[in-house]
Structure 1
């Protein structure tokens, strides 16, 4: 048979097996090779591409193991009927009436149902009652002095931040904070910012939009590989030392020293994203980098994990000179963050309610992570949780040959949503390993239900026929 495969010619000088695997995998994922479609015989495809038949056989075998293809004696090789159904084919019954997945295991989301509505209402009402007439005017671009004072004390007490209120800037969450910082660095003459790879993809987009070049730097179990940071040409590095996203690595003491030493030698800035530093389960969280070198580190935090993303309150603690340069950009961005929300957060912290809420959340997330670990073992799902027990998500590496994109698509078809590691890789890995599973916004019993259901589809994976 003849089939015009939707793949580009193989590039000389690059591993041919990797190229062919990636091309066929992408063709199946995108739907350009439809479920049930028969592929050319290994001999025919080898001749067409000018490669060995053995290489084609190895590729077909690998993709069959991953569930993209199926092969039966006498029937040839074809695309699996179970491979990657489009989102539009997901049965409505597996999704909530609000269009949310039935089992929401997306990473980075706290328990939205546990938002302290009563406490927030009380704090907001108290803030409104106590607000002076002058508080209702245009906000201070740096943030309300009361919140800056309260936050400086809290961050120093809980995270070891050297947080002078005069160097603390209130912003609309991490995203605006990074955008303001990127614009300011660019105005200073910066050209390149290094990023952990893997990491959240929108960070690279924010930096590029500001006119900066992004340099991906790999991470391992000890955090970012500092020896991969060039001694010249990089103006800043963005890192998550307390709990690397998404690998879960904690930056080792030697790496912490090394990245600060690198910044000192190169005159660079370290941007510390402390997105969930309060949520470590196995021990007290490691203090922040900024406390060691406040003249070289910009500390960024927010309420997105501690309270809810919808609050849109975050903060930057910067060296004094950089703080002064950030203020005009903040003014032009929005003329200041909402004052009453700032005063409500200040009241919540001063009353001790913020600390109590975080302690309860930490216990809840510890229980949920343990429930996920037990469910994976109980239902014999070929995944292994890695990284430090902390936060609201974890990386789970695979113990079989299933491609993470394929596993996430199969889960989505069942109404279970989590992410493939490929979503967070700036430099694509030809053999990606792992899925990123959130446990913050799902109950423990629902975690067991989701993993049990996932186990059934993994068990059926090799039963697909042409």
Structure 2
């Protein structure tokens, strides 16, 4: 190897020729030499039992001081790669390293998620201003291990915001900051399991990710059917369930809104069963035909665990969410949150607190709601043009719509149509079924798709559909 230095170990198992890269010019020569030797042990160029050259001799070969070699040897002895024997020099340990796996080019992670907001609309300038304000006011003490419930300033800001915009009853001591609703659902599952709840009802169809998360948290899930009025309270009454997770403001994925009669029946069921309702209020800020319906939690704060996040209103990459827990569950929730990650990152929490206090989130939702409404309208028009007879279900809200055909379409055709959508998030409705008969339709995300992208996606899906019919 050009520019390398040969170092020939001696002993019962010598290596005939070991080449080491020059280390004299490294920032820390001893660490560079240690890494060179470590790599040689791992890849077998220095087999177990080989005796390394004396430190003085190797130093001369490498053009470094003897202290560099001594420190490198000492580091690798401490790590277990080498053994130092008095009178016998330094010997390579018997380190068994499996052969490296074949290197495969990494595939980019592209989730098929129809609920992604317009990431290009993220309010970078306002968020940066909030982050600078938060950083300037950050005390040394706040950089330590924080409260597992979350920073008090953010919990106060969330309590005010949720009370004003979602009619949530949110005493500060019952608010817990989470890494998005995904972590929130996992924590709720663990809390329910600790309180003797083994099964949780889930909407059918409903979020496959939430179902998987609940199961990972230690509870079983039971499918509860959904119709155009929301989750079936009759099915709840006919079950033995003591907990259910619902999306009442905008059911995912069908888009139904839980009717007033169902809301009343849901809370009556919870009171009669001493049950818990988990409310996933995932995108309720975005309602385009009227003001959003208030949260169910406001009607029964001691029966409902309320959850939300900024994943739809701002960006899922922020990983910021919250739970508002009933008094009887909040202590257990705080305990499992502490076990999960001790506390949420403080700078991100304070940035969101400043953003809320300054009205930044209100302004962002107002700006983007009209634009999302326009994208939804364009999606429906494009659907009518490319897929005549297909219609959208649910209310005008959120970041996705379910489009259903006039007649059932085979599942493999729907799969092919979804795959043809390119960069637009399209998922067959059947992917969200948890036991009931899968519906015939497609869940189409328009939040992060331009009008041109929607047109191209619908056109490509139409080509697939018409091609299968001709075949």
Q: TM-score scaled to structure 1, two decimals? A: 0.75
User: What secondary structure does 1:410 align onto?
Assistant: helix
1:108-144: CA deviation from partner (whole Å, max 9, x where unpaired): 1111111111111111111011111111111110000
| Paired position in structure 2 for 1:80 | none
Alignment partners' CA distance in 2, 1:182 and 1:100: 27
Pairwise mapping of residues 19-418 of structure 1 onto structure 2 (< 5 A)?
A: 106-230=113-237, 233-413=240-420, 415=422, 417-418=425-426
1:78-98: CA deviation from partner (whole Å, max 9, x where unpaired): xxxxxxxxxxxxxxxxxxx99
User: What secondary structure does 2:392 align onto?
Assistant: strand
Displacement after TM superposition at 1:105 (Å): 8.1
| Paired position in structure 1 for 2:80 | none
Query: Conserved in 2, the CA contact under 8 Å of 1:241 and 1:274?
Result: yes
Q: Radius of gyration: which is bigger?
A: 2
Q: Judging changes above 3 Å, is the alpha-carbon distance between structure 1 residues 292 and 417 closer, same or farther for their aligned structure 2 residues?
A: closer
Q: Judging changes above 3 Å, is the alpha-carbon distance between structure 1 residues 462 and 233 closer, same or farther for their aligned structure 2 residues?
A: closer
Query: Conserved in 1, the CA contact under 8 Å of 2:254 and 2:401?
Result: yes
1:173-230: CA deviation from partner (whole Å, max 9, x where unpaired): 1111111111111111111111110101122222222332211100111000001114
Query: Conserved in 1, the CA contact under 8 Å of 2:308 and 2:322?
Result: yes
Q: Judging changes above 3 Å, is the alpha-carbon distance between structure 1 residues 294 and 243 closer, same or farther for their aligned structure 2 residues?
A: same
User: What secondary structure does 2:299 align onto?
Assistant: coil
Query: Conserved in 2, the CA contact under 8 Å of 1:235 and 1:268?
Result: yes
| Paired position in structure 2 for 1:40 | none
Give the number of aligned pairs: 365
Displacement after TM superposition at 1:231 (Å): 6.1
1:397-445: CA deviation from partner (whole Å, max 9, x where unpaired): 112342244223234146254100111001152x632111100010123
| Paired position in structure 2 for 1:434 | 441
Alignment partners' CA distance in 1, 2:419 and 2:198: 40
User: What secondary structure does 1:290 align onto?
Assistant: helix
| Paired position in structure 2 for 1:67 | none
User: What secondary structure does 2:277 align onto?
Assistant: strand
- Unmatched 5+ stretches in structure 1: 1-96
Alignment partners' CA distance in 1, 2:421 and 2:326: 49
Alignment partners' CA distance in 2, 1:372 and 1:303: 24
Among 425, 429, 434, the alignment partner of 1:421 is 429
Query: Conserved in 1, the CA contact under 8 Å of 2:421 and 2:458?
Result: no
**Structure 1 range deviating more: 445-454 or 258-267:** 445-454
Q: Which fold has the larger relative contact order, with Cα–Cα distance below 8 Å and residues 6 or more apart in sequence?
A: 1
Alignment partners' CA distance in 2, 1:455 and 1:257: 42
Query: Conserved in 1, the CA contact under 8 Å of 2:249 and 2:257?
Result: yes
Query: Conserved in 2, the CA contact under 8 Å of 1:248 and 1:394?
Result: yes
Alignment partners' CA distance in 1, 2:222 and 2:305: 19
Q: Judging changes above 3 Å, is the alpha-carbon distance between structure 1 residues 272 and 152 closer, same or farther for their aligned structure 2 residues?
A: same
Displacement after TM superposition at 1:324 (Å): 1.2
1:359-413: CA deviation from partner (whole Å, max 9, x where unpaired): 1121111000000011112234442111001000011111234224422323414
Alignment partners' CA distance in 2, 1:405 and 1:381: 20
Alignment partners' CA distance in 2, 1:236 and 1:411: 34
Q: Judging changes above 3 Å, is the alpha-carbon distance between structure 1 residues 177 and 398 closer, same or farther for their aligned structure 2 residues?
A: same
Query: Conserved in 1, the CA contact under 8 Å of 2:207 and 2:432?
Result: yes
Alignment partners' CA distance in 1, 2:425 and 2:412: 12
Q: TM-score scaled to structure 2, two decimals? A: 0.74
Q: CA RMSD in A?
A: 1.9
Q: Judging changes above 3 Å, is the alpha-carbon distance between structure 1 residues 379 and 100 closer, same or farther for their aligned structure 2 residues?
A: farther
Displacement after TM superposition at 1:344 (Å): 0.2
1:310-359: CA deviation from partner (whole Å, max 9, x where unpaired): 10111000112211111111111101000100000011111111111011
